[in-house]
Amino acid sequence: MIKELCLGASIAVLIFLILMGQNIIPILLLAGLGFFIFMLMDKKGLVTSSQFTGYSSQVDFTFDDIGGQAPAKQELKEALDFVLHASKITDMGIRPLKGILLTGPPGTGKTLLAKAAAAYTRSVFMATSGSEFIEVYAGVGAQRVRQLFKAAKERATKEKKDGAIIFVDEIDVLGSQRGSHTGHMEYDQTLNQLLVEMDGVKNDDDVRILVMGATNRDDMLDPALLRPGRFDRIVRVDLPDKAARLHILKIHCRNKPLADDVSLDDIAQESFGFSGAHLESVANEAAILALREKSPLIHQHHFKEAVDKVMMGEKLDRKPSDGERYRIAVHETGHALLSELNRPGSVSHITVTTRGKALGYMRAVPEDDLYLYTRDFLEQQIQICVAGAVAEKIVLNSQSTGASNDFHEAVKCARQIITAGLSSLGVIWEEIIPRECYHQEIQEIISQQENIVEKILDSKLAALKKIAQLLVDEEYLSGDGLREIIGGREVLN
């Protein structure tokens, strides 16, 4: 009705101006430009339920299909039970949960947990990303937030569902601390609208809305978003431990033909630090390697090659010169010897094959997943890091730039020793300690370990040269082969 009145009034004004002999062409141009801008902004701000993916309770995806993450799944289920049993919590006078935040490293399964939550609660699932709410036009983000909540209710009503889960991935883009974006109030307006919408969620609504967010940077979120009454639960989704990695590998290998020599337990042990996404890629790459070799079954060596590929990258055609090749072999042998002598059985294999940014590498297998480190452990890590450069110095009487990353890791370990109060400085505050003192302590820690490594490698010089030459000839040496050489009497003398 209002649009018709405005249109009629506009036509009447134009007719009046024509009768008065006025030139209306500039007015028409301005009106057309204004209409175009209005339509463009309206299109930018439009959010409909068709832009999101809905998952009903019949979706064949449950918490059982997610490997590992038992603590996160348990905590999430407890929170979702409040959504499932709304009448019971009302009788108990319990306020409904409005938001659940999933936080943790990339690839750990935060989006999968949100999808499983929708199936668990028999709710409509609508997924979006924080970046979809931020535009150059003022007010567009706030409008999209309003329309998103409206679209969730409409879709749930259409599908005759009692609840809807709105999942916002990378919510730190939308919910970062207000005032952190200088000169750009669009971020703050969008966040303010999200806070208002979450405050408006009530237990007696026809459609119960639960907001789930996922982020890798929860430290960037605005405190108003994290307070109780908005995001009531913060669920930590961490990297999987060995048992969880084995569970994830079994899930991703269910549809793959595995040979009898495959030991997923060994692969789980070798993949320390891998996320669920990494492990899925390992299983997929192993199948691709088997297909490339025209093998009907996936063997253990395919999985080992896949772990290297996911960790380091694809093999390259770069061929170092003979002199560089021998230097690389000496360098990697130094790493391997110290790793094996400090922790027997830790070396998986050594190779001088160029892969990714590495001209060669030694891969070690941790015996157990460790979360606390002693000074002895960190010093052994420093020894392994500097052993490559020390081996070059002993055998070739010079060092190369190939040890740059090794020294970087050695410094990180030395810093851990200092900041944990395990150095001769005692307990310190890293921010106020003089830089010269800090740097000198790091140098002393690393120098002490270099001297220890030099004595060890001097005593194993025959083994060092033998293994390095074998690497040059064969390009690859297994951990068992290394241990056989180290244990041989001919190289111990």
Sign of CA dihedral 157, 161, 163, 169: negative
The Cα 400–Cα 160 span in angstroms is 68
Residue with tokens 């170092």: 320
- What is the SS3 assignment for 96? coil
With a CB cutoff of 8 Å and minimum separation 6, the contacts of 208 are: 83, 86, 96, 162, 163, 164, 201
Sign of CA dihedral 266, 272, 278, 279: positive
Among the listed residues 270, 280, 285, 332, the single catalytic one is: 332
Nearest by Cα to 139 from 176, 193, 175: 193
Give the number of other CB atoms < 10 A from CB of residue 364. Answer: 21
* 453-463 b/e (C-beta count within 10 Å ≥ 16 → b): bbebbeebeeb
Instruction: Mark whether 305 is an active-site residue.
Output: no
Length of the chain (residues): 493
The Cα 144–Cα 49 span in angstroms is 11
Q: Which residues belong to the active site?
A: 332
